[in-house]
Amino acid sequence: MRRLKLLSVLMIVGLSLSISVLIAYVNPLKVFGQIPLPDEDTLMARRQAEVATNFVVQPPDRPLRPAERVRRDTYGDVGLTPVKTLPQLDRLLYPSIPTSIRERVIEGSEFFTTPQKVEDGFGSVGMQTRCTGCHLNNIESVPNEGLLTGSSLVSRAGRTTTTNFSIVSGNTTDGGQAPGRRLDPVNPDGSVDLSRLSLNTSGELDAVNNTGRTAAFTVFGDFSPSQEEVNFLTSFDPLTNTPNFLGVTQNFGGFLQHVRPPSEELKALYGLDCRPEAIPSIAEDKNLGTVDPITGLSPLGFRRAITELAGPPYIARGLVEAIPNVDISSVPDPNDVRGDNSSLNTSLFKCTGDCITGGNNTVPPNVPRGREDQLAEGLGRFGLRANGTEMMQFIVGGTFGTLSMTNRISPFEQVIADGNIAPYNRNCRSLIDDPEISVSIPFSARNFIRGTAPPEFGNNLLAVLNSRNPSRPIRGNSPAGRVQRGAQLFGIDLVAFANRTIPDKMPKRGDGRDRNAINQSDRMVGCVSCHTPIQRTGLSPALGDPSLGPDAQALVDALSYRWAPLFSDFNIHRGPTIDAERFAPTPRDPILISRSERIVRRDKSGKDSDDDDRYEERKGKFRKTFTTYDLPRNLSSDAFSNQKGSADGDQFRTPPLTGIGRVGPPFLHDARVFLSTLNRDTTPAGTVTTNSEVTNAPLVVRSVDDAILAAIELHDLPAPDDFKTSKVRGGGCPVPRGGKVTNIIGNVIDYSLYGTSPENVICPPYDSELSTTHRSEARESIARFRSLTPSDQQAMIDFLREL
């Protein structure tokens, strides 16, 4: 009898196990689910303890291993719906992370990718319905280019056109307008409905006569250059309800322009009238009133500043968090004394070294120490201007700025513009009690971001790295050979890079090569001077985080003591500046320029070469011509967030390049260099480009290669015209028609700083003073790039697409 009972029990257990296995095979969700995180008090105790450390990381004290990477061909392909299953997480997270941690990530991954509801606290002022709303470039990715197809944290902000601020700014009576009213096809219930996109009825692809279309967000306020010299923390007035350094208080709802509030839902549920926010005119702004047509300054010394910023892909952020502080803080070369060895040195500039100086952004305290909403301070490494010491700042900043949802780490509601001076929102307010979300959500979201790995390299780069001697030239013109050439032109020591990225490649006693895999004997173009190929990590700050559960060490191990192929020095660098555009109270209106498409022909060896413009014209050949949205070449802006740090308006952090070949465009801090399937055959982006054969040839952005080339070009002001200047339509220095740009609204100067020779401002001669003061720190490296043949430039692009 006892034996029968035992047999029955075993049969039941076996049957249950078999059913579980079967269910798991059919639907993994049935045996995989969210595990609750510790209670709020436990998490807040952890929060206060980690903030006290300021996330300082010490150098490693043990041998390092290559960072893990995720299978490339499916990386990020998680679909459009919320990320909450094991198969989706498998396409994002480090392979060694166990299921127990993945189950603790689900709360954060689902929140990040799920539309929020008004009744749950989704804000009266908002920009997107979910965090992923700022990471939707895949919706418009061009096909057959090897780009990821899913929407998640590894996607970036989308853009289809430039933005028309004459229209988007609106007015304080009626409110502003969104540059694309509905960008996200995912409904509040998580279903996908592509017909909900506003594209078909809004006319927003016509950015000249309408708003334009982008998910980049707008930062606005008033900037005082003179106060910047006195105290950089008080030089920017975000136009909220806080007095500026002169004691002037005016609440126009800054510093973010929230343009996509859930207006219909708020009206239906609560009878509220919440509209897209407006940017006030010059006349109604007490800091301004009137402005000087040359400097853009008011009698009080302020000028209006507006810029767009775009959500970047959150790839390998856990590795970034674990880089030793000294490896970032020691990078700046303020006197440019280090220089570099390069066989391509141009000697065009009067730099003592390589012209690259760099700097650290020092992040000040955001509130008095000890408060629950205190953020870490000190060395900045996160954010487009490196204005964040820690990831949590941007997680709670996103829930606050994008969704207008509060928690104990970020307990304050978004400021709604004062109805007395901005009557468009006098009937808008927040109704849901604070806090609206639990602290476990930002903790879980941080685990999600920490655990997101970089993708595997492309097959051609892997072929080079796995070879016996990666630096030995590959004969012929094979794809792997071109990638090898591109990496060497970039400035990489391929042997050192392979030893630090391929398991078991590193000799047991080390290789004695450059730690960052830089070819110090010949940096060639010198991209490695900012885009540091390899960073090392110390002990991850994730150690001891109770939200990771009992298997936390697995994630800590995935992030600690690693060689990380991040391609960034995490410093801030000075970019190209055109005063006429930097000082203007409103970014210039979109400009359409007719440009002929770049034709690339291959010689008998298979090498690429740009068709010679004059030769083509003599032969009477015609290229296909496109009406392009001209890409502004000024990258400087004095608009900042409320956590400014010490960065100047012309300084931005070196963006990591890991994953660039899978994520694709748009590129740069504001997603300026765009490529969209919606208009690449009608009104794509356009600029000019230079190589050894032609100067300022038209560049129409219709492929990922074109977009990468444009992004490289925009690292500096264009080359000055010379005897090789292109004669093809759209070639030559990209001077606006008539030498000025006049916006269609009244609060704009007429760009008189372009002067009588605007071509010398936009494309300054290399030996001019303006080249020294207004070209970027990358001017020498970009000059070297422009000295390359089209074939060598393409080799560098081929290499970048393998990352």
**Model confidence over 413-470: pLDDT tens digits?**
888 999 999 999 999 988 888 888 999 999 999 999 999 999 999 999 999 999 999 9
What is residue 190's predicted lDDT score, i.e. its pLDDT? 77
Whether the predicted pLDDT of 188 surpasses 80: no
The contacts of residue 39 (CB under 8 Å, 6+ apart) are: none
Q: Which residues contact 478 (CB under 8 A, 6 or more apart)?
A: none
**Residue whose pair of structure tokens reads 């995180």 in the numeric block:** 37
> Which distant-in-sequence residues (6+ apart) come within 8 Å of 26 by Cβ?
none
Q: What is the pLDDT, as a whole number, of residue 604?
A: 43
List the end-to-end C-alpha distance of the chain, in Å, as a whole number: 66
pLDDT tens, residue by residue, 129-165: 999 999 999 999 999 999 999 999 999 999 999 999 9
CA trace torsion 706, 143, 483, 320 (10° rounding) = 90
Residue 85 has pLDDT above 90, yes or no: yes
Question: 221-234: b or e for each residue (b if 16 or more CB lie within 10 Å)?
Answer: bbbbbebbeeebee
3-state secondary structure of 402: coil
Could you tell me where the DSSP H helices lie in 27-74? 40-53
d(CA 449, CA 393): 13
CA separation for the pair 708, 705 (Å, rounded) = 5
Q: Mark residue 464 as left, alpha or beta (left: phi above 0; alpha: psi -120 to 50; beta: remaining).
A: alpha
Q: Which two tokens stand for residue 355?
A: 């012209």
pLDDT, tens digit, 9 for 90 and up, residues 494-544: 999 999 999 999 999 999 999 999 999 999 999 999 999 999 999 999 999
Please name the residues in contact with 620: beta carbons below 8 A apart, sequence gap of 6 or more: none
pTM score, whole prediction: 0.93
Q: Are 469 and 126 in contact (CB under 8 A)?
A: no
Taking each helix axis from N to C end, the angle separating 99-113 and 552-559, rounded to the nearest 10 degrees, works out to 80
Strands 562-564 and 65-66: what pairing?
A: parallel
Q: How far apart are CA 317 and CA 450, in angstroms?
A: 6
Cβ contacts of 527 within 8 Å, gap of 6 or more = 490, 491, 781, 796
CB burial readout 606-626, b (16+ within 10 A) else e: ebbbbbbbeebeeeeeebeeb
Q: Which two tokens stand for residue 28?
A: 């993994």
Which residue from 515, 597, 443, 595 is spatially nearest to 47, judged by alpha carbons?
A: 443
Burial class (CB in 10 A: 0-12, 13-18, 19+), 389: buried
Q: How confident is the model at residue 292 (pLDDT cuts 50, 70, 90)?
A: confident
Q: pLDDT digit string (tens) for 380-400?
A: 999 999 999 999 999 999 898
Compute the distance between CA of residue 799 and CA of residue 470 in angstroms, rounded to an integer: 14
Bridge partners of 594, per DSSP, are 627
CA separation for the pair 146, 142 (Å, rounded): 9
- More reliable by pLDDT, 472 or 7: 472
Q: Which of 633, 681, 674, 703 shows the shortest CA–CA distance to 214?
A: 674
